[in-house]
Structure 1
Amino acid sequence: MLKRLLTGKTLLFLLLLAAMGITAGCGDTAGDSIKIGMVYELTGNTASYGTSAANGANLAFKEINANGGVLGKKLEIITADNKGEPSESANAMTKVITQDRVVAVTGFTVSSCGIAGSVVAEDNKIPFVAAATVNPKVTVDEATGKVKDYTFRACFIDSFQGTVGANFAWNSLKAKKAAIMVDNSSDYSKGLAKVFKSVYTERGGQIVSEEAYLQKDQDFKATLTTIKAQNPEIIYIPGYYEDVGKIVKQARELGITIPILGGDAWDSPRLAELGGAQALNNTYFTNFYSVEDKNPVSNSFVEAYQKEYGQVPDSMAAMGYDAARLLVDAIKRANSTDANKIREALAATKNFPSVSGEMNLNESHDAVRGVVIIEMKDGKQVYKETIKQS
């Protein structure tokens, strides 16, 4: 009887220890490696973004390991696919944190996915650096308005990108009347549209038409005909490249020749394939990065990326590279894999050498960095200017 009781107590004790190990927010640092989780959109409609960002991150991790790793250990990268879906994002984050026992996570290029991933990171108290998710709700809890403790990002947010877009439309393109097409299924699109509208109307611009569509829609001609009838001088489309390419192509077929402007989600080699090189002339978008925006970090990155993958990096590759380096830089400065120490180091980030120049993290855990203006000319991206964030 006593033996059975002791056995039962021992089993209970072991179960409690196991539960504590799962929920304590500490990854597995045993052995000769440090486990880092990497969660990206590797399949689905936004796989072009996730694949490029993952390539950039893998290049950064490879360089770090080639230079001796961090804290005397090599990095072991645990990769998961969020499939471009919020529910899958939560599943992927849960797996790398609770099963693979990573000490921190980087990844995500889609805002709705990053929001879902951040919930899991916060619940498990694991540092998370998002690469290219611009919606404010990634780092700030929508219900409470409180900055999330363990979530950070390497990119700017909608409010800055949308402001730059509105100012560019008003000041540079001299457009006084605008139409907006928003993807009603996307937090990213709705957030950018809201900021653009607010800033553009404050400048004196008039919004003559606001129309909505949903991802995976194929025929936009009825909506574009409605917009054309209002005689706008510019159309703002903060959508993803899969939809934008089709929208621009159909707009030009309807005789709409005015400038069309968008955000960073336009950035994909597939945009020109979908829209057509000529149709995309007289279109512009705000972005994180351009290979033509020269600085020593960017030059080194471009050279290494071309050597590794045989192609010029896009902005998502640059953001994946920056996010991975930012996370490892924090681990180095923390001199620890303890979650709280990494979190504190991330929050204190100043003067980080990103591929687009010096970068800081502000009180909301968002990157303070420049916005690049890109013009499409004959199917190619042409760098126009960089707008610095104060």
Structure 2
Amino acid sequence: MLGRRRWVKAIVALGVSALGLFACTPKDAPQKEGAGKDPSAPAAAEPWKVGAYLSLSGAETQFGIETKEGIELAVDEVNKKGGVKGRPVKVFYEDNKSNPQETNNKVLQLVTRDKVVALLGEVASSRSTIGGIVANKHKIPMITSSATAPEVTQIGPFVFRVCFTDDTQGQMGAEFVVKTMGKKRIGILYASDDVYSSGLATQFRDAAKKLGGEIVVEKSFIKTETNFTTYINEIRDAKPELVYAPIYYNAMVPIARQAKAAGMPGSMFVGGDGWDAETLLQDAGEEMEGAYFTNHYAPDVPWPNAQAFLKAYKERFKRDPSSLSSLGYDSAQLLFDAMGRAKGDTPESIRDAIAETKNFAGATGTITIDPNRNADKSIVIVQIKNKKFTYFAAVNDKAQKP
């Protein structure tokens, strides 16, 4: 009898507890994740995790923002098509604040905390080198959009790029000047304390000489200089047919103004991708009329993929894209293409697929990844006309034909 009473009491207590539970649970109380779902419904596909480390603040903020816009557009397009292998792509963005130390920290976070399968970044060669070291150590494939220093991809087998290198740019610039323009007497003006400027000058000089060009005058300056009159007069007096000036736009503005005052028109100058800035057009567009420079992209390039990118970018961001945004777009699109071709979903299999990329049709031209993990692609010749950057030609032309 004692055991029966205990059993009855237990049943009653259980019933009271149950009634209390139902009484205390409102109809709109939050349910556990998955509650109320059709168990037969397919589970949402696990997204691909991709990391992007960019200079979204600091000295190169604009470069980072433009690159991010290109990546965002590529992500939107691939996800609208169903993602990669039926899985959406999710990009984790990290701001390295244009700082080398922050770059190391942010890339480590993306790799170890977020477990990304691939990395996109950076704009600057110095920070791409730091990020590339981390990526290569952890065997995560990385594609830099616009780091042009040759040594970046020499870090190891997991580091790639979609832009051309400075040595290729110097060589192709020389071919354009000597073979296409037919100029033989050439002057060179560059910044001796800038690796980009002096490196391009060296590559151009060596290539031009091999092609039969003669360097009749060569002048160098320090980056902090602002008065170039003496250099310009000495160059003018040597009577070159053309002056190669592989310098950044902020130095080219006063040089263009002072050269015009000395009787040297903008059409006498050829430069590199360091000229690609709206500031050059705003501050010296008239003085630079007719000048040429090598670049990655121009808004009016005639290639079908470039035109499609231009239309999509303008619809979203309400302005023309820069070379940085077009390269950011290409770096992401090439990665997604490789992920779709990869034999597995591991970083190693994605790395192998990137290395096998051939004739990828991008906004900046047709890209083939060479054995050194660099992009074998076209270099665009841009001419300044009516204060605008306009497409003139493509050197090493591998672009899609219109």
TM-score computed with the length of structure 1 as normaliser: 0.81
How large is the RMSD of aligned CA atoms in angstroms? 2.6
d(CA) in 2 for partners of 1:118 and 1:320? 17
Show the counterpart of 1:288: 296
Asked if 1 retains the 8 angstrom alpha-carbon contact of 2:166 and 2:199, the reply is: yes
What percentage of residue pairs aligned between the two structures are identical?
32
> CA, structure 1 residues 238+344, in 2 after alignment: closer, same or farther (shift >3 Å)?
same
Asked if 1 retains the 8 angstrom alpha-carbon contact of 2:45 and 2:86, the reply is: no
DSSP-derived class of the 1:140 partner:
helix
Show the counterpart of 1:144: none
1:75 aligns with 2:92: no
Q: 1:366 aligns with which of 359, 367, 374?
A: 374
Counterpart mapping for 1:164-313 below 5 A: 164-215=172-223, 217-257=225-265, 259-274=268-283, 276-313=284-321
Task: Name the structure, 1 or 2, with higher relative contact order (CA <8 Å, separation 6+).
Answer: 1
Counterpart mapping for 1:81-160 below 5 A: 81-141=95-155, 148-160=156-168
Deviation at 1:193, TM superposition (A): 1.8
d(CA) in 1 for partners of 2:59 and 2:233? 26
Per-residue Cα deviation, 1:25-61 (whole angstroms, up to 9, x for no partner): xxxxx98332212223334554443332221111101
DSSP-derived class of the 2:154 partner:
coil
d(CA) in 2 for partners of 1:304 and 1:54? 15
Deviation at 1:330, TM superposition (A): 1.4
- Range 249-258 or range 162-171, more displaced: 249-258
Unpaired runs of at least 5, structure 1: 1-29, 142-147
> CA, structure 1 residues 185+152, in 2 after alignment: closer, same or farther (shift >3 Å)?
farther
TM-score computed with the length of structure 2 as normaliser: 0.79
Unpaired runs of at least 5, structure 2: 1-43
Deviation at 1:229, TM superposition (A): 4.5
Deviation at 1:128, TM superposition (A): 0.6
- Range 378-387 or range 203-212, more displaced: 203-212
d(CA) in 1 for partners of 2:219 and 2:134? 34
Asked if 2 retains the 8 angstrom alpha-carbon contact of 1:134 and 1:188, the reply is: no
Per-residue Cα deviation, 1:78-122 (whole angstroms, up to 9, x for no partner): 223344454554444334333443221112233333233322222
Show the counterpart of 1:6: none
Q: Which amino acid aligns with 1:38?
A: A
Deviation at 1:140, TM superposition (A): 1.8
Structure whose alpha-carbon radius of gyration is higher: 2
Deviation at 1:346, TM superposition (A): 0.7
Deviation at 1:320, TM superposition (A): 0.9
- Range 295-304 or range 203-212, more displaced: 203-212
Asked if 1 retains the 8 angstrom alpha-carbon contact of 2:51 and 2:116, the reply is: yes
Deviation at 1:318, TM superposition (A): 1.3
d(CA) in 2 for partners of 1:191 and 1:249? 25
d(CA) in 2 for partners of 1:88 and 1:249? 39
Deviation at 1:124, TM superposition (A): 2.3
